[in-house]
Amino acid sequence: MTREEALAYHSGKRKGKLSVVPTKPCLTQRDLSMAYTPGVAEPCREIAKNPELVYEYTNKGNLVGVISNGTAVLGLGNIGPLAGKPVMEGKGVLFKRFADIDVFDIEVASEDPDEVIRFCQLIEPTLGGINLEDIKAPECFYIEETLKKTLSIPVFHDDQHGTAIISGAAFLNALEIAGKRIDEVKVVFCGAGAAGIACAKLYLALGVKKENLILVDTKGVVYKGRTEGMNPYKEEFAADTDARTLADALRGADAFIGVSGPNLVTPEMLLSMAENPIVFAMANPDPEIPYEVAVATRPDVIMATGRSDYPNQVNNVLGFPFIFRGALDVAAREINEEMKMAAVQALANLAKEDVPDSVIRAYGGKPIKFGREYLIPKPFDYRVLLWEAPAVAEAAIRTGVARKPFSSKEDYVRELESRLSRTRQVMHFVFDRAKQDPKRIVFAEGEHPKIVRAAKVLVEEGICRPVLLGKKENVEQLLAEYEVPREKVEVVDPATHPRFEEYVKKFHQMRWRRGVAEDDARKLMKDPVYFGNMMVHEGEADGLISGLTMHYPDTIRPALQIHHTQPGVTRVAGVYLLLFEDRMVFIADTTVNQDPTAEELAEIAFMAARVARNYFGVEPRVAMLSYSNFGSNTDERSLKVRKAVEIARQRWPELAIDGEMQADVAVEPQVAREIYPFSTIQGDANVLVCPDLEAANIAYKLLWRLGKGEAIGPILTGVNAAVHVLQRGVEVGDIVNMAAMCVLKAQRLQDH
Ligand SMILES: NC(=O)C1=CN([C@@H]2O[C@H](COP(=O)(O)OP(=O)(O)OC[C@H]3O[C@@H](n4cnc5c(N)ncnc54)[C@H](OP(=O)(O)O)[C@@H]3O)[C@@H](O)[C@H]2O)C=CC1
Ligand SMILES: CC(=O)C(=O)O
Ligand SMILES: [Mg+2]
């Protein structure tokens, strides 16, 4: 990134990084009278009667003020409120991006702590919380302490506690990697300001001994008896030591915690530290020692910086969005020590969990595993929200500061998930039903790490009992590597399976009139997809998942040869579910039938409707799409679709279906109401059946990419067994989703 690029990023047509977006429609006269006068008077009257209702009728509960006077902006020093504004806007971006919290960045033109306090007190009605930012020490301590005492919304000085929490979590993990005990290590803090003092306090609470802790500032070591540049906050940590300089303090030290300024640690100082030295050089944007210099000087260093372009970004971005999310969601009156400690533990523990593919991809695709280069979760790891916010909220409830405690942590995590992804919200419906009666699902590609990682999630969630096909030693090795609970997974090697020959014979008998000799059958049965399908056929497993490393047709073919299609249908088809902010639609057939006949199209409509109802609990309303509306064209292609509607109505009279119709008539109520009032579908279609594969494929891809939808699928329907096919190369999460759907089908084959 160059200076020019950074400046261009902040400028552009729309200046800066934030904007205000209305959350209610304001298009019509009626909208206007609701958004503004006279309608707006109603919530005003309600809040006047009951102030708590401000959380119901305004955005207060999700609005944080990022407030700064610009006296300690990053490591740039006192550059003033105006120059600090890009940082405050940046914090707003992160609040929104990571935790869906809205922010007003508020820069205050005063260095007088009492004025800043008074200002915050006066704007309390606007805000759900206050994030103090980049206010220098020692004034920041007085400001925060006073506001905490006088306001009834959470107040949190990010540079103090955010930094302390994140570095505390990374410190616990670094000690584990260094093999050192917290009550024995010598820790040097460089910087005795907002971040330094707060880190020192938290490290003591974590178990560092006060006598093993030394603070250094611009005047050198903060020692007992020093008078120059002191304040009561530093005094508390004044050390009984002969060390006077940073170099003195670092000699033999186990850890360096830098929250001061650029380039203060020399290679010589680093060389004088104990073995496996922990170096958190967190000054921004330039650390106390450059990353490259540190790792070149000490190969055994356990190194972190505050920046995103090196391993181990120890930065308060991992804290403030999630801590406020948890605090706001339970309407916490404050953010107390227990809540901070809960955040430390959540982050430290999460770093030891398997990292999802989406996170690995966001960070360049290299494997990420707990160790020297991965002490702490990555900011783009969506799980940080799901771990940290609930931990904080739970601690708020436990300590009695939550005004709106949740009744179930599980439900709260779900609510958070739906903020992150509509797919997760929808899939929970599927997961819940799968868990009620988990089935044995065989995975043809059991030697693939993604399958093993999916198996881990599946057993931990109780969705199914995975049966992994593959060479025993290969699968066992992966199971051990990913720490999958071994007793909950079966491993089957087709080559040594006692029923292998029996399967060969049975398959031979199924296919001998299709030219399959016994030897051919034996060869095919060595293919785990054929073998897995036979296991399902023979009741040794309830369902099958395959396709991660194969072409789609190669995985469907064995399933059809062994299980055929379901009674009443002659085809299989693929259905995609597309999720938008306020709507979901199923599109078919996106994967199998190139140019279906009217009969086939009717079957596709029926099967897609069944997917909607039986997997996702959506009452299907089917639109049969074309480029004409109800006979406006009479060519072969329009007629085919119209005939399909007639067939479907005859065969499945209970199905809400109409057509042929154009896509806008299917999804836009106004068009249908005005021109086609007779139609069963009044712009409320949720199952869209396209006339052929080309149309379906183009439609779903355009909707997905341009409509900013999320996609689940393709969901295979029509096979007379619980068999589901993965798209090549999909992620662990997609495998888990498909396996859950497979369980549902195995539970009630006839319904899916
Ligand atoms: N990675 C992260 O998440 C975060 C990083 N930081 C970084 O920490 C640094 C300090 O921020 P903050 O605590 O808010 O600021 P403050 O102004 O409150 O404190 C700065 C401290 O650093 C000391 N200091 C400055 N220069 C030197 C030096 N050359 N040698 C020794 N000590 C020095 C100051 O000493 P004195 O007391 O003598 O003036 C003071 O104690 C910044 O670089 C900031 O970017 C801060 C928050 C989060
Ligand atoms: C990260 C941050 O808040 C700082 O450097 O000040
Ligand atoms: Mg800051």
Hey, is 103 helix, strand or coil? strand
Please provide residue 543's backbone torsions phi and psi, each rounded to the nearest 5 degrees.
-160, 170
Residue 86: Cβ within 10 Å count: 14
User: What is the DSSP track for 269-303?
Assistant: HHHTS-SS-EEEE--SSS-SS-HHHHHHH-TT-EE
pLDDT tens string 121-147: 999 999 999 999 999 999 999 999 999
Q: What is the mean pLDDT of each run of 10 residues along the chain (752 residues)?
A: 92 94 87 93 98 96 98 95 98 96 98 98 98 97 98 97 97 98 98 97 98 98 97 97 98 98 97 98 96 98 95 95 98 97 98 88 86 94 95 98 94 89 86 95 97 96 97 97 94 96 96 87 96 97 97 94 95 95 92 96 97 94 97 93 98 97 94 92 96 96 89 95 94 93 93 80
Cα 143 from Cα 147, distance rounded (Å): 6
Q: What is the architecture of the domain spanning 3-23+59-153?
A: 3-Layer(aba) Sandwich (3.40)
User: Is the CB–ligand 2 distance for residue 167 below 6 Å?
Assistant: no
Ligand 1 pocket list (CB less than 6 A)? 72, 74-75, 136-137, 159, 163, 190-196, 216-219, 229, 259-261, 264, 282-284, 306, 314-316
Contact 223, 244 (CB under 8 A): yes
How much distance in Å is there from the Cα of 450 to the middle of ligand 3?
A: 38
Show Cβ contacts of residue 249 under 8 Å, excluding neighbours closer than 6 positions: 188, 214, 216, 221, 241, 243
The CATH number corresponding to 181-308 among 1.10.760.10, 2.20.28.90, 3.40.50.720, 3.40.50.970 equals 3.40.50.720
How much distance in Å is there from the Cα of 533 to the middle of ligand 1?
A: 63
Q: Count CA atoms within 13 Å of residue 302 on its CB side.
A: 27
Helices (H), 573-718: 598-616, 636-651, 663-667, 669-675, 693-706
Flag whether 73 is marked binding: yes
Structure tokens at 555: 């995985």
Residue 82: Cβ within 10 Å count: 10
Query: Which atom of ligand 1 is nearest the CA belonging to 217?
Result: 32
pLDDT tens string 23-58: 888 888 888 999 999 999 999 999 999 999 999 999
Query: Which of the following is catalytic: 91, 378, 439, 640?
Result: 91
Helices (H), 469-515: 472-481, 500-511
Confidence (pTM)? 0.82
Quick one: which of 537, 575, 588 has its CA closest to 558? 537
Flag whether 519 is marked binding: no
Hey, is 492 helix, strand or coil? strand
Quick one: which of 605, 687, 617 has its CA closest to 652? 605
CA–CA–CA angle 692, 695, 699 (5° rounding): 140
* 369 is annotated as an active-site residue: no
Q: Which ligand is nearest to the CA of 191?
A: 1
Flag whether 78 is marked binding: yes
In the chain, the amino acid numbered 240 is D
pLDDT tens string 615-659: 999 999 999 999 999 999 889 999 999 999 999 999 999 999 999
Same fold, 3-23+59-153 and 181-308: yes
CATH topology assigned to domain 319-420: Rossmann fold (3.40.50)
Ligand 1 atom 39: residue of nearest CA: 218
> In terms of DSSP bridges, do strands 464-469 and 439-443 run parallel, antiparallel, or are they unpaired?
parallel
Residue 430: Cβ within 10 Å count: 20
* Cα four-point dihedral sign 235, 240, 243, 249: negative
How much distance in Å is there from the Cα of 131 to the middle of ligand 3?
A: 10
Task: Taking each helix axis as running N to C, give the angle between helix 194-206 and helix 163-178, from 0 to 180 degrees, rounded to the nearest 10.
Answer: 50
Query: Which atom of ligand 1 is nearest the CA belonging to 196?
Result: 13
DSSP state of 332: B
Superfamily of domain 568-718: Isocitrate/Isopropylmalate dehydrogenase-like (3.40.50.10750)
Structure tokens at 720: 């007379």
* Residues in a beta bridge with 280: 257, 304
Quick one: which of 532, 554, 358, 534 has its CA closest to 447? 532
Q: What are the structural domain ranges in the chain?
A: 3-23+59-153, 181-308, 319-420, 428-562, 568-718
User: Is the CB–ligand 2 distance for residue 193 below 6 Å?
Assistant: no
Flag whether 74 is marked binding: yes
Task: Classify domain 428-562 by CATH number.
Answer: 3.40.50.10950
Contact 128, 153 (CB under 8 A): yes
Ligand 1 atom 3: residue of nearest CA: 315
How much distance in Å is there from the Cα of 676 to the middle of ligand 3?
A: 59
User: Is the CB–ligand 2 distance for residue 260 below 6 Å?
Assistant: no
Flag whether 77 is marked binding: yes
